[in-house]
Amino acid sequence: MIKSHKPLIIILILLLALFAAGCLNENDNTQDEKTNETVTEHTKVEKINIEGSTTVFPLAQAAAEIYMENHPEKSINVISGGSTTGIKALIEGEVDIAMASRKMKYSEKKAAEANGIDPVEHVIAWDGLTVVVNPENPVDQLTYEQIKGIYDGSISNWAEVGGEDQKIIIQNRDPSSGTYGYFKDEILGDVKFRPDLVSRDSNGAIVQAVTQEDAAIGYIGFAYLDDSVKAVDIDSGNGMVEPTSENILSGKYPLARPLHFYTDGQPTGLAADFIGFILSEEGTITINDVGYFPA
């Protein structure tokens, strides 16, 4: 009797079919991996980190949001925390841009150089540092000397500067703030702050404190000025000047100051493009909307 070879042939056909299917799946997987790699490459997001001044923060944040709307493939992370904190992060190579409402100190520049960082300054806008009191306070003018006396302790009562018989409650920025540094250099110089100051970590915190206390005084960036506080006119020796956009832009207002970005060397890539955007016509609109003034 001749044995049939059909079962053997069927088995061989099945094995060949399984082998072919495996090869097809392997090719499909390889193709999928190549496709995924291509998609990932084309959708790779370019990122930069910005940190520093709470004064510069609202401008940088607003500009970043508009920029990312126009460039969804870009990512700009903006963190406030004070000028000193931002500059330190740049020195340590942790951020692409440091925001500062003051110039870098000599000691900071030396620390940067020692760490292989070449700090380059970019003036992106102007601000007017504004001394504010509660709207219920009748005082609406102060001289440099009076402000200095309030903050160094030689003046302690509002009656001494034309106000009511109330102890002055003094709000100050924390030492990591560029606003703190600028105010001290401009108003107090080498004189120390009085010891009973209340330190606040942001412009917004100063506004809130002055709003809630009739006898309080503080200082903020012009962009934070609203109806909840009253800005006082200032005389630095050339007559009283109101903190207005016109007086700040003209240089007549004595506490006008530049706002800075710092980068490690001349910026490239996204950092350069973002700085260029802020200094562009579209960026100028954002600067004005926030409450600062174009550089």
Spell out the domain ranges in the chain: 46-127+257-294, 130-254
Which CATH number is 46-127+257-294's, of 1.10.3720.10, 3.20.20.480, 1.10.630.10, 3.40.190.10? 3.40.190.10
Q: Are strands 74-80 and 46-52 parallel, antiparallel or unpaired?
A: parallel
Q: Provide CATH code, domain 130-254.
A: 3.40.190.10
pTM: 0.76
Assess contact for 160 and 150: CB atoms under 8 A. no
> In the predicted model, what is the mean pLDDT of the chain?
88
CA distance 104 to 120: 10
Residues sharing a CB contact under 8 Å with residue 249, sequence separation 6 or more, in sequence order:
126, 293
Most confident of 121-125, 223-227, 245-249: 121-125
Strand 130-133 and strand 216-220: pairing? antiparallel
**Residues paired with residue 258 on neighbouring β-strands, in sequence order:** 126
Using only C-alpha atoms, what is the Rg of the chain?
30
Chain segment 232-266, per-residue pLDDT in tens:
999 999 899 999 989 998 889 999 999 999 999 99
Percent pLDDT > 90 in the chain is: 80
Choose from 19-28, 166-175, 243-252 the range with maximum mean pLDDT.
166-175
pLDDT band at 37; cut points 50, 70, 90: very low
**The pLDDT value given to residue 13:** 54
Tokens at 288, concatenated? 């004005």
Locate tokens 């930069």: which residue? 48
pLDDT for 62-97, tens place per residue? 999 999 999 999 999 999 999 999 999 999 999 999
